[in-house]
Amino acid sequence: MIATLPANLVRDNVDHLALMKKGDCATVTRVASVERPDQLAIKTRLLELGFAPGEKVRVVAESFPGGDPMAVRLGNTTFALRRHEAAMIQVERPALLAA
* pLDDT tens string 56-90: 999 999 988 877 899 999 999 999 999 999 999 99
Q: Is the peptide bond before 53 cis (omega within 30 degrees of 0)?
A: no
Q: Which of 75, 80, 81, 36 is nearest to 54 (CA)?
A: 75
**pTM given for the model:** 0.78
Rounded Cα gap, residues 14 and 10, in angstroms = 8
Strand-pair partners of 71: 61, 80
What superfamily in CATH does domain 7-92 come from? Ferrous iron transport protein A (FeoA) (2.30.30.90)
Quick: pLDDT tens for 29-55: 999 888 888 889 999 999 999 999 999
Sequence ranges of the domains in the chain: 7-92
